[in-house]
Amino acid sequence: MTQPVLIDVDLPEFGEPSVQPSIPRATYEARVCAALKRAEAAGFAALAVYGDREHAANVAYLTGYDPRFEEALLLLVPGLRPALLVGNEGWSYAELAAGSFDRLLCQTFSLPGQPRGNQLPLPALLAEAGLRPGMRIGAVGWKIFEPSDPGATEAWLDLPEFIAQALRAIGSVANATALFQNPADGLRAINEVDQLACFEFAATYSSSALKRVLFGLRPGMSELEAARLMALPGLPLACHTMLSAGERASRGLPSPSARIIRQGDPFTMAWGIQGALNARAGFVVRDASELPEGIRDYVGKLAAPYFAAVAAWYRAVGIGTTGGELYAIIERHLGDPFFGVGLNPGHLIHIDEWMHSPIFPDSTIALRSGMAIQVDVIPATHSPWFTTNIEDGIALADAALRADFAAAYPEAWRRIQARRGFMTAMLGLELKPEVLPFSNIPAYLPPFLLAPGRVLALRE
């Protein structure tokens, strides 16, 4: 029977991309057509898709435009060209987007104090985009309200009130975000080969950033100096950079500060860009003897059981596996309250870091080819043993999609195959053929961060 043990290993250089994938205009147009078809089947005469800097994914999915400072609103009406309402600063930036749409200037979306003298009122802009009195309009924000949300109805909208009011003045409005983000069959749950290649591109950079910290971290540097090791390439963020040591580390989310990292500190870090996020955690020590006396069993008590759970998750994940099966695996391994796993053990990732999750108790949602999934099992012990973490992205691809990926993106495909080989040969993990690892630190977990070449692996 295989058990987690610490081994010394050389992490291969999987490489970084020399070519950046992109989404063709024809794909954006096909997505708009699919959205309108779904809308019609759901009884909507039009869709109003909202975006802002924090919630750009649905607008970007349909147009390639990601709002930077302002709100944006994409109007989809059958038989008409899509209309994208943008503010002052988005006006010229939208010209770079690859999708097919008409721009309408809505200066109300602009930042406070900016010019407002060159626009039509919002109701007139909505009419120009094709909305007509009496229409049933589907409003797409970024959040699906769950049956367990007290009082939730389809009338709940996660749009700014001034936009919601303008839409309701035209006709009836209901939340239609599930058309895009339903974890079973939402439009963004299943990805084209070009989109998956974009995610792999992002993941190589996000994971390589963390790799540089793993191999460069030293006591005496500040958190800001440790974050500087990431050598961030400037790709669009999906969340704030997270890196902290010491007393703040157990909270997970803090950004780096000027605090000095000390020998023995707990340490955590995560970096997320559009399409990818990676995270790791451990202690700033060389071995167990440098831990406080009471937690020198850190590997045996926490890190090794965690790695065994993640290995079982990897062994099971695949096309046709249900979210409930994956949830049960983690519950079986890490269900003891000591581990404190409170969030879904895995979720769908897209342009936004957490799109939705099919992985929850008793979920019957079967995973499908084209899904991009975040391996995201986070113990939150809030105890002296702190935590550990492997957070990486994968995709599922059937034989046809794998062939398309290999043909269209041979450089990325070589990285994926090299990662699979490392995970199986060196770490002892079993992977189904459809599992495509996107991380350059694939399931790589050094619990003692000053010994980054000593990691957990499965051995007889």
Q: Please, which pLDDT band fits residue 393 given cuts at 50, 70 and 90?
A: very high
Q: What local confidence, expressed as pLDDT, does residue 382 receive?
A: 78
pLDDT one-digit tens code per residue, 95-110: 999 999 999 999 999 9
**Of 128, 136, 39, which Cα lies nearest the Cα of 81?**
128
Place of tokens 């899509």: 82
Q: What local confidence, expressed as pLDDT, does residue 15 receive?
A: 96
The boundaries of every CATH 3.40.350.10 domain in the chain are 25-181
What does the alpha-carbon distance between residue 298 and residue 221 come to, in Å, rounded to a whole number? Answer: 24
What does the alpha-carbon distance between residue 179 and residue 68 come to, in Å, rounded to a whole number? Answer: 24
Burial string for 287-308 (b: 16+ CB within 10 Å, else e) reads ebeebeeebeebbebbbbbbbb
pLDDT one-digit tens code per residue, 302-360: 999 999 999 999 999 999 999 999 999 999 999 999 999 999 999 999 999 999 999 99
What does the alpha-carbon distance between residue 18 and residue 34 come to, in Å, rounded to a whole number? Answer: 32
CATH topology assigned to domain 3-19+192-459? Creatine Amidinohydrolase (3.90.230)
Q: Please, which pLDDT band fits residue 380 given cuts at 50, 70 and 90?
A: confident
Supply φ then ψ for residue 448, to 5 degrees. Answer: -105, 105
CATH architecture assigned to 25-181: 3-Layer(aba) Sandwich (3.40)
The boundaries of every CATH 3.90.230.10 domain in the chain are 3-19+192-459
Indicate the pTM of the whole model: 0.97
**Of 419, 388, 438, which Cα lies nearest the Cα of 268?**
388
What does the alpha-carbon distance between residue 272 and residue 351 come to, in Å, rounded to a whole number? Answer: 10
- Going by the DSSP 8-state scheme, the letter that residue 390 receives in this structure is E
Query: Quick one: CA torsion of 259, 377, 417, 422, rounded to 10 degrees?
Result: 70
Two tokens, residue 232 = 């961030």
Q: What is the average per-residue pLDDT within 204-218?
A: 98
The angle, 0 to 180 degrees and rounded to 10, between the axes of the packed helices 193-216 and 410-425 is 50
- Asked whether the beta carbons of 65 and 82 are under 8 A apart, the reply is no
Q: What is the average per-residue pLDDT within 257-273?
A: 98
pLDDT one-digit tens code per residue, 163-203: 999 999 999 999 999 999 999 999 999 999 999 999 999 99
Supply φ then ψ for residue 4, to 5 degrees. Answer: -70, 130
Q: What local confidence, expressed as pLDDT, does residue 119 receive?
A: 86
**Of 194, 280, 265, 189, which Cα lies nearest the Cα of 230?**
280
- Going by the DSSP 8-state scheme, the letter that residue 94 receives in this structure is G
Q: Please, which pLDDT band fits residue 134 given cuts at 50, 70 and 90?
A: very high
Q: One-letter amino acid identity for 252? A: G
Q: What local confidence, expressed as pLDDT, does residue 381 receive?
A: 75
**Of 37, 3, 353, 422, which Cα lies nearest the Cα of 199?**
353
What does the alpha-carbon distance between residue 158 and residue 171 come to, in Å, rounded to a whole number? Answer: 17
CB within 8 Å of 414: residues ≥ 6 apart:
15
Q: One-letter amino acid identity for 45? A: A
Two tokens, residue 217 = 């971290």
Instruction: Tell me how far the alpha carbon of residue 360 is from its chain's centroid.
Output: 17
